[in-house]
Amino acid sequence: MRVVFVHGACVRDGAWWWHRTAELLQERGVASVAPGLPSCGEAGLPGGFSGPGLAEDVAAVRQVLRTGDEPTVVVAHSYGGIVTAEAAAGIGSVRHLLLISSYLPEVGQSLSDFGDGDGDGDGGPAPFLDVDIEAGTFGVRPELLVDTFLQDCDPEVQAQAADHLARQSVQVTGQPVGAAAWQQVPSTYLVCAQDRGTPAPLQREFARRAGSVVEVDAGHHPFLSRPTVIRDLLLGL
């Protein structure tokens, strides 16, 4: 078994975001990898309207998934579900999708089709996001990072997280997916009940498309705050 982690929006250094769960999996002999997303600057190209977008993110993840034929579970967090919907389509080694506070888009849907993310229904950017229209990028406001996304993590993680934020190409929010892997591959949705970024009621609505649903009493990043829960869930799959 192999695990491929696909991180969410506005962050970089995926291996850091997943490291607590990855280390626990490694102790059980399960290898994992966290591909970089070009739209977050992880391919060395700047973000913006002329920079990498969803297509490049899909290609980066798909390249990793095509490496080897070992049975694979793809774990997608937040925006990572948009990428995974297309990237995992038609890959025979992919046996299960685990969506964490994420999305299962139909073909033709984009991130923007799932609302503004904070559940207030005003249609504008969530208050924890900073959007630079002229530059064509968006990112998490550092001063709101911990209270919104990491309130249940230990101080060490909270202190380090800001160093792994990224400005991302805003174009990814409106670019539609060309496939929906979750329609062919078994899927599990993990609802994070204490998530302040994507409220639990929204997650439960998104989760209706998944094959099964599990809830954990955690914030937006349970793989950092409750890594044993994620490890056990993955081993169970």
pLDDT tens by residue, 67-109: 989 999 999 999 999 999 999 999 999 999 999 999 999 999 9
Residue 145's CATH number: 3.40.50.1820
| Residue given tokens 């929204």 in the structure block | 202
**How big is the chain by its Cα radius of gyration, in Å?**
16
118 pLDDT higher than 80: no
Q: What is the pLDDT of residue 29?
A: 97
Number of structural domains, the chain?
Answer: 1
Domain containing 88 equals 2-236
Residue 118 and residue 191: Cα distance in Å, rounded? 15
122 pLDDT higher than 60: no
pLDDT tens by residue, 27-66: 999 999 999 999 999 989 888 888 999 999 999 999 999 9
What is the DSSP track for 61-119?
Answer: HHHHHTS--S-EEEEEETTHHHHHHHHTTT-TTEEEEEEES---PPTT--GGGG-SSSS
Residue type, 228: T
pTM score = 0.96
In a 13 Å sphere around the CA of 45, the CA atoms on its Cβ side amount to 15
